[in-house]
Chain A
């Protein structure tokens, strides 16, 4: 296996034909993708698609059959220590030595990595809001507190890449929101790249700038989420609830640049596509014609719907 040079220096994680075979069966099959600095990328797939196996291979917990994983240009396979020093991770639940305090647990990981100061421990515990609970034994922690301590240990050595497998598992809605805020903040403020898997698709949608969908160990699609296009020029899919659908449709058909107008005279709902800056004009025209408008909504395909389409809905667990 030759180590290809990374051309783009902002690439933090590079998977190159990553393959894991167990007993002749490919669990992960020729997976390749890159993650750049500051990107938050979601790894999606039905249960058994190979998400956890992929993440465990990235951090070297599981050996790879073929291919390579490079972190900041260093191969996890041939120069493990140089590569892994840039990675912080939580693989499945964050587990600690229950009979030690949170502080003693963090000290364990401080001693394992050169250059982690006591000030850094204080900094990360403050970031995750654990400074008051640090003296307590971990066995007395709630799951939410363990998750925060897990994030703290992952950030301790100032990694360039975070690998998070189901980081919101077992958290309550407030905890999930908080976790999401941390992760976004970390990615923006410190420029850390994050690869995150979760079965909560709406979470991924709120957190990530890009998703990678895998199924049966193979890459299905890579898709950017929102933000990329300028919103003014963006073509929106709009659904409108009006008093008289037939009349409204006539008005809409007279206007230029509005596509695929459909009406349902029974529910008085019309759907069409147009650019955002056309909306005020349309509303004014409709009002001038005396069409009552009850509701204007954007119709968005959710990540979930798309995910179902891509992976075949019945396979989702």
Chain B
């Protein structure tokens, strides 16, 4: 167990020792700074409180979209960078099983994603407080928390998928490309195919759980529980493929 903690620390250091590590957080800070200023200038209708602002901006359709993109950028590199640097050879000749090494990588990616989500939430509240200073509006803290949870789920699903693509392709660029493309094209695809009921089994129809707060269900008959089950099935599939392939692969 002490050993596994060591692996987690290693993975976290591989992320955080990079100069680009803080860039992701800085981008979020800048974006929320700009949004706060814009809202202060424009004073849009219907937004009257800190909670309104925070709940609205962290949605996937707003600044929240940045979080899965930034998380996917990191997830794509987790395994592929080891190949790029050639360090995979040193990494896999230690007295650690490949499963443990991969598990540490995945867990750190999920933790990193959550730090992005929480940073975003904190920035949204801070910017909202500066602009509105509290106030009362339509949204409640429950709405806000619900949106945070949806953002986290959405991001982790795409991180898991990109993580698997990284293992399969060994290419950072390809993983980023496929990860972000499927994020963009996935919802479009669901829209185009929404008249077929089978579409509801597609991953992309279920990634945004926030739809269940607004009753704008993408396809007739879908429920929150249904989506969660579908997501869990896909996650299990992605992780099984990741671990099976990583375990078997020859490092040539």
Which residues from chain A sit less than 8 Å from chain B, CB to CB? 56, 59-63, 80-82, 84-85, 87, 89, 91-100, 104, 108-109, 111-114, 153, 157
Contacts and interface: CB of A to CB of B under 8 A. Distances in A.
Contacts of A82: 95
Given A91-B89, A92-B86, 19 more contacts: A61-B93, A61-B251, A63-B248, A81-B95, A81-B96, A89-B89, A93-B86, A97-B14, A97-B17, A100-B17, A104-B13, A109-B90, A111-B9, A112-B7, A112-B94, A113-B94, A114-B95, A153-B90, A157-B95
A152 to B, nearest CB: 12
Contacts of B13: 100, 104, 108
A261 B165 CA distance: 71
Interface in B96-120: 96-97
A85 B95 CA distance: 5
A99 B94 contact: no
A62 B252 contact: yes
Contact of A89 (B9, B14, B93): B93
Contacts of A80: 97
Interface in B30-89: 85-87, 89
A113 B95 contact: yes
Among A60, A63, A112, find the residue whose CB has the most chain B CB atoms closer than 10 A. Answer: A112
A84 B10 CA distance: 20
Contacts of A84: 93-95
Q: How large is the interface on B (under 10, 10 to 19, 20 to 34, 35 or more residues)?
A: 20 to 34
A60 B86 CA distance: 16
B85 A108 contact: no
B250 interface: yes
Contact of B87 (A97, A111, A114): A97
B97 A81 contact: yes
Contacts of B92: 60-61
Interface in B1-37: 2-3, 6-7, 9-10, 13-14, 17-19
A112 B87 contact: no
> Ordered nearest first, which 7 A-B pairs have the shortest CB separation?
A95-B86, A111-B6, A85-B95, A61-B251, A112-B94, A62-B250, A59-B93
A143 to B, nearest CB: 13
Nearest to A112: B94
B2 A114 contact: yes
Contacts of A89: 89, 93
Contacts of A153: 90
B72 to A, nearest CB: 21
Contacts of B250: 56, 61-63
A104 B13 CA distance: 9
A89 B91 CA distance: 11
Contacts of B14: 97, 108
Contacts of B7: 111-112
Contacts of B18: 99
Contacts of A113: 94-95
Contacts of B6: 111-112
A87 B93 contact: yes
A53 to B, nearest CB: 8
Nearest to A61: B251
Interface in B145-198: none
Contacts of A56: 250-252
A114 B95 CA distance: 9
Contact of B251 (A62, A85, A112): A62
A59 B95 CA distance: 11
